[in-house]
């Protein structure tokens, strides 16, 4: 084990492990839902570090559940097919053909890459979509226009969650497996829906009564207007930051999901920097506050 090319002495190693022990004891047997995306998902060194972290958490008795996104990978696949991605208010319009691509990219390529990485690191990962075990029942998302609330946009097969049945995830966890979930749901007529991965992670954390929800992003956490990290956020502060435009775009569903989970009994919700190697271990087993913690009050 090295840091900045300097070997860590046995004494320092022992200190690091001793500091982690109270957290291992505190979180033993608890579930942690991890939203995996951004650079952590595309940089090979960060991918390997992430897989090692997930396996280590499982080995010390914590139950990690991984939920992944895949926007850039979907974009690449659509380009290869010569299909131009269309967006309304930042949301991908998902027609039937695009949905097919979304399913094979998320439920096939991306999911199986993550499963392979975790298995290679010594874990036993199993890939799931929302169809498996009837896990994620969804309905068509109603998108209201930003400027005119009387106008509704049709974004195709983009879904909102009706309900999540976590029994398949629980069965796998009890059997020493690490579930890797693709954010695809199914509707009443067996149609598929593409769902925001942040929303799936937050809802899954709630129904599993997770100890923590950890969202890996491409920034150090939530930043204020001056670019300084906000270590803690309350609902009132979040409202202020949305009103003044500090929180906008892709950060909105992330924060809304995080806040929902915090209000629904998930003990701690953290938005952390996935570009930092071993970000998961630093958050879960470290003393130093890392990223932004969302509080329910």
pLDDT at site 207? 96
- Give mean pLDDT, residues 274-282: 91
Measured distance CA(269)–CA(202) in Å, rounded: 9
**What number of other Cβ atoms are within 10 A of residue 71's Cβ?**
17
Measured distance CA(199)–CA(161) in Å, rounded: 8
Residue 119 φ then ψ, to 5°: -65, -40
Residue 2 pLDDT exceeds 50: no
List of residues 6+ apart from 66 with CB closer than 8 A: 34, 36, 54, 114, 118, 125, 178, 179, 180, 181
In the chain, what's the furthest Cα-to-Cα distance? 65
List of residues 6+ apart from 125 with CB closer than 8 A: 54, 66, 114, 115, 118, 119, 177, 178, 179, 180
Annotated binding site for substrate: 70-71, 92, 194
pLDDT at site 208? 96
Q: DSSP label at 28?
A: T
Residue 6 pLDDT exceeds 70: no
- Give the pairing type, strands 184-186 and 192-194: antiparallel
pLDDT at site 257? 86
Residues composing the chain: 297
3-class DSSP state of 81: coil
pLDDT at site 5? 54
- Give mean pLDDT, residues 237-253: 85
pLDDT at site 295? 84
Measured distance CA(122)–CA(74) in Å, rounded: 28
Comparing 248 with 281, the larger pLDDT belongs to: 281
112-125 tens-digit pLDDT: 999 999 999 999 99
List of residues 6+ apart from 151 with CB closer than 8 A: 144, 145
Residue 19 pLDDT exceeds 90: no
- Give mean pLDDT, residues 250-266: 86
pLDDT at site 286? 82
In this prediction, residue 248 has a pLDDT band, given cuts at 50, 70 and 90, of: confident
Report, in angstroms and rounded to the nearest whole number, the Rg of the chain calculated over CA atoms.
Answer: 19
Percent of the chain with pLDDT over 70: 98
pLDDT at site 78? 93
70-110 tens-digit pLDDT: 988 999 999 999 998 788 887 889 999 999 999 999 999 99
Which string of DSSP letters, residue by residue, matches 170-203? HHHHHTT-EEEEE-EEE-TTS-EEE--HHHHHHH
Measured distance CA(171)–CA(176) in Å, rounded: 9
Annotated binding site: 70-71, 92, 194
Best mean pLDDT range from 184-193, 225-234, 245-254:
184-193
Block residue for tokens 């993550």: 114
156-187 tens-digit pLDDT: 999 999 999 999 999 999 889 999 999 999 99
32-74 tens-digit pLDDT: 999 998 778 888 999 999 999 999 999 999 999 999 999 889 9
102-206-251 Cα angle (round to 5)? 55
CATH class given for the domain over 37-210: alpha beta
3-class DSSP state of 264: coil
- Give the pairing type, strands 87-88 and 91-92: antiparallel
pLDDT at site 214? 95
Domain with CATH 3.40.1160.10 in the chain: 37-210
């Amino acid at each position: 084990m090295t840091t900045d090319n300097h070997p860590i002495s046995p004494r320092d190693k022992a200190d690091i492990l001793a500091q982690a022990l109270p957290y291992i004891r505190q979180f033993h047997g608890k579930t942690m839902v991890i939203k995996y995306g951004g650079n952590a998902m595309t940089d090979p060194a960060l991918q390997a570090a992430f897989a090692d972290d997930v396996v280590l958490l499982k080995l010390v008795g914590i139950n990690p559940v991984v939920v992944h996104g895949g926007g850039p990978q979907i974009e690449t696949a659509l380009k290869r097919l010569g299909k131009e991605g269309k967006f309304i208010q930042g949301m991908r319009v998902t027609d039937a053909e695009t949905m097919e691509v979304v399913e094979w990219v998320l439920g096939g390529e991306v999911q199986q890459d993550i499963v392979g990485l975790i298995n290679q690191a010594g874990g036993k990962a199993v890939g799931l979509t929302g169809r498996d075990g009837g896990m994620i029942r969804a309905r068509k998302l109603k998108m209201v226009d930003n400027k005119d609330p009387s106008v509704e946009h049709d974004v195709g097969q983009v879904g909102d969650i009706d309900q999540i049945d976590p029994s398949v995830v629980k069965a796998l966890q009890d059997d020493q497996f690490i579930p890797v979930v693709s954010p695809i749901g199914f509707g009443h007529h067996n149609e598929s829906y593409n769902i925001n991965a942040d929303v799936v992670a937050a809802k899954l954390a709630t129904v599993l009564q997770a100890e923590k929800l950890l969202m890996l992003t491409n920034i150090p956490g939530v930043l204020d207007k001056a670019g300084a990290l906000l270590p803690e956020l309350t609902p009132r502060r979040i409202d202020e930051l949305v009103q003044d435009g500090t929180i906008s775009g892709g950060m909105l569903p992330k924060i809304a999901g995080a806040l929902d989970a915090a209000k629904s009994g998930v003990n701690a919700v953290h938005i952390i920097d996935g570009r930092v190697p071993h970000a998961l271990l630093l958050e879960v087993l470290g003393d130093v506050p890392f990223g932004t913690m969302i509080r329910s009050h």
